[in-house]
Structure 1
Amino acid sequence: MARRRKGRAVSGWLVVDKPAGITSTAVVNKVRWAFDAQKAGHAGTLDPDATGVLAVALGEATKTVPYITDALKAYDFTVRFGAATKTDDAEGEVTKTSDLRPSDAQIVEALQGFVGEIEQVPPAFSAVKVDGERAYALARAGEETELAARPLWVESLLLTDRPDADHAQLEMVCGKGGYVRSIARDLGEALGCHGHVLRLRRTWSGPFVAEDGIGLQVLDDEAKSPDLDRFLRPLEEGLADLPQVTCPDASLAKLRNGNPAMVIVPGGTQIDYGDEVWASHEGRAVAVGRLMGGEIHPARVFVNG
């Protein structure tokens, strides 16, 4: 007999406005504890000193995590010019310095080279794995590692403020796997003055925005209370970027058992053969899968859908 999970079978998304000084994993653990949830996970790590949107999925919503992880995200951050650091942020040891400071026009021109499909080398202190080990663990041990460049889609990268010659405030919208610290590092190199991240905030991630997030104090104050559930958002919000089809009554049992079944495509909706979609019944998610010949072939089925 399978061991029963401890905790409540609660499902949904919680948007946390993460403060600085705590890891993403620690936030997820706190959320799981506060809700007494059986299962929890997050969609996109934030550095410990970063703030902003950390979308935490509970229960069945964890099945929608990949769709938020793959969604566009926006970051507001400040670059400090004149110094490169080992960690590419203000916490690391300074490795290079420069007295050169770029003009606003030079920054704007340089930013154009970081928009679109770019290649980005992750920071040495990152969670990227090298021969099975985390890069940050190797870096802390003093080992030199050469990380491979990775493709990144940058939708936009704008200069939004220039408080003084030493600092520039930027806003970036990018896809999965973007490292803001790498952007700051590479921008400083492109400008010939070195640079690192001084402050970083994720303002939105897919459908979730920082202004809707709750703080950790709320979790502490209302932990284990039924009132905390009012902050949960439907798991269906994690599927916002996928086309929605409708599961008729006759197909419900088949889909819930993981079998292909006929669905109804809303009029005017353009869905190509083989596209990934999600099926709903009375507004609740039933399954995610590929639409082929009027049938959805499920890859994920929602138990409480």
Structure 2
Amino acid sequence: MARKRKGRDISGWLVVDKPAGPTSTAVVNKVRWALDARKAGHAGTLDPEATGVLAIALGEATKTVPYITDALKAYEFTVRLGIATNTDDAEGEELGRSDLRPDDEAIKAALADFIGDIQQVPPQFSAVKIDGQRAYKRARDGEEMELAARPLFVESLLLTDRPDADHVTLEMVCGKGGYVRSIARDLGQKLGCLGHVRDLRRIWSGPFDVTDGLSLDQITEMARTPELDQHLQPLEIGLDDLPEVKATAEGATRLRNGNPGMVIASGVEYGDECWASFEGQAVAVGRFKAGELHPSRVFNLSQDGDA
């Protein structure tokens, strides 16, 4: 018999303004400890040296993580021109240098090729799996790999500042699966000057904004207190990109048991994925078919929002 994990059955989202240094997993563990939560996970990894929005899902909210992962995200980052590294960021070993420094107009023109549906090769030091092993582990052993290009949707990529000839600050809005380090590397190659990411900050992710984020110091100060609980955002915010339907009382009971349940829908078509609520609380996610929601995920929440 599996041992039951200790902690509170607490559900919701906590937005962390991640500092440079810790891994995303370390931040999740910190939040789980601070809230004495039984279950926690994050919606979209940030590299250790990256900062900004890391949305932590607690309890039943972990079932909504895929919808945040699929949502658009925005990054602000600075590219160091003139130097290429093996990690495509400032932590790596130098691979090459260039004295060329393109002007702003050349950079803006080059950015156009990185907008829309593009193909992107992940960095050698990335979490991509090759034959069951993470690429960064093989890269640390000195192995060079041919990583396959992956699709990425980039909604916008703008030059927002030019602090000096060696640096450009960019802001990008993109879909899931993107590597900002690859953007910096490929931009440097396209401009003929080489480049890598000097610093990176995620400023929003789906419905979560960095202005709502708590620092790790704040989380530590409020740990195991009701004050920290007050910063939790409801599970339902993770479903913002899906249409909502209203379950009837009988429909809600059936949905909670994993069965199709009757819902009241407006502006939803047959087969659409949506989420059902009852008395303002999420009950299930599923497909709308002929007046019923056929559930794929069911939420086990009490009336106060806890699992």
Q: What TM-score results when the alignment is normalised by the length of structure 1? A: 0.97
1:302 aligned partner? 299
Separation (CA, whole Å) in 2 of partners of 1:192 and 1:84: 11
2:133 aligned partner? 133
1:49 aligned partner? 49
Separation (CA, whole Å) in 2 of partners of 1:170 and 1:2: 48
Aligned counterpart for 2:289 among listed residues 285, 288, 292? 292
SS in structure 2 of the partner of residue 56 of structure 1: strand
- Once the two structures are TM-superposed, the CA of residue 220 in structure 1 deviates from its matched residue by 1.1
- Once the two structures are TM-superposed, the CA of residue 88 in structure 1 deviates from its matched residue by 0.2
Instruction: Give CA deviations for 1:222-278 in whole Å, capped at 9, x if unaligned.
Output: 211222100100000000000000001121110000001110013xx2x22211100
**Equivalent position amino acid for 1:299 in 2:** S
- Once the two structures are TM-superposed, the CA of residue 4 in structure 1 deviates from its matched residue by 2.8
Separation (CA, whole Å) in 1 of partners of 2:153 and 2:269: 24
Separation (CA, whole Å) in 2 of partners of 1:303 and 1:198: 43
1:278 aligned partner? 275
- Once the two structures are TM-superposed, the CA of residue 5 in structure 1 deviates from its matched residue by 2.5
1:210 aligned partner? 210
- Once the two structures are TM-superposed, the CA of residue 76 in structure 1 deviates from its matched residue by 0.3
- Once the two structures are TM-superposed, the CA of residue 91 in structure 1 deviates from its matched residue by 0.6
2:109 equivalent to 1:112:
no
1:199 aligned partner? 199
Gaps of 5+ in 1: none
- Number of residue pairs matched? 302
SS in structure 1 of the partner of residue 106 of structure 2: helix
Separation (CA, whole Å) in 2 of partners of 1:166 and 1:299: 50
Gaps of 5+ in 2: 303-307
Separation (CA, whole Å) in 2 of partners of 1:6 and 1:209: 30
SS in structure 2 of the partner of residue 111 of structure 1: helix
SS in structure 1 of the partner of residue 168 of structure 2: strand
Separation (CA, whole Å) in 1 of partners of 2:166 and 2:217: 34
Separation (CA, whole Å) in 2 of partners of 1:275 and 1:49: 39
Q: How does 1:78-227 map to 2 (within 5 A)?
A: 78-227=78-227
Instruction: Give CA deviations for 1:122-149 in whole Å, capped at 9, x if unaligned.
Output: 0111111010000111101111111110
When the two chains are superposed, the root-mean-square deviation of aligned CA atoms in Å is 0.9
- Once the two structures are TM-superposed, the CA of residue 3 in structure 1 deviates from its matched residue by 3.8
**Equivalent position amino acid for 1:132 in 2:** G
SS in structure 2 of the partner of residue 263 of structure 1: strand
- Once the two structures are TM-superposed, the CA of residue 116 in structure 1 deviates from its matched residue by 0.3
SS in structure 2 of the partner of residue 181 of structure 1: helix
Instruction: Give CA deviations for 1:162-197 in whole Å, capped at 9, x if unaligned.
Output: 111111000000000110000000000000000000
SS in structure 1 of the partner of residue 264 of structure 2: coil
1:255 aligned partner? 255
Separation (CA, whole Å) in 2 of partners of 1:6 and 1:265: 39
Which stretch has the larger CA shift, 233-242 or 288-297?
Answer: 288-297
Separation (CA, whole Å) in 1 of partners of 2:3 and 2:181: 43
- Once the two structures are TM-superposed, the CA of residue 2 in structure 1 deviates from its matched residue by 5.8
SS in structure 2 of the partner of residue 173 of structure 1: strand
Percent of aligned pairs with the same amino acid: 71
Separation (CA, whole Å) in 2 of partners of 1:297 and 1:237: 21
SS in structure 1 of the partner of residue 151 of structure 2: strand
Separation (CA, whole Å) in 2 of partners of 1:79 and 1:293: 52
Separation (CA, whole Å) in 1 of partners of 2:51 and 2:90: 15
Separation (CA, whole Å) in 2 of partners of 1:294 and 1:97: 63
Separation (CA, whole Å) in 2 of partners of 1:227 and 1:76: 31
SS in structure 2 of the partner of residue 231 of structure 1: coil
Q: What TM-score results when the alignment is normalised by the length of structure 2? A: 0.97
1:18 aligned partner? 18
**Equivalent position amino acid for 1:63 in 2:** K
**Equivalent position amino acid for 1:153 in 2:** F
SS in structure 2 of the partner of residue 185 of structure 1: helix
Separation (CA, whole Å) in 2 of partners of 1:205 and 1:223: 24
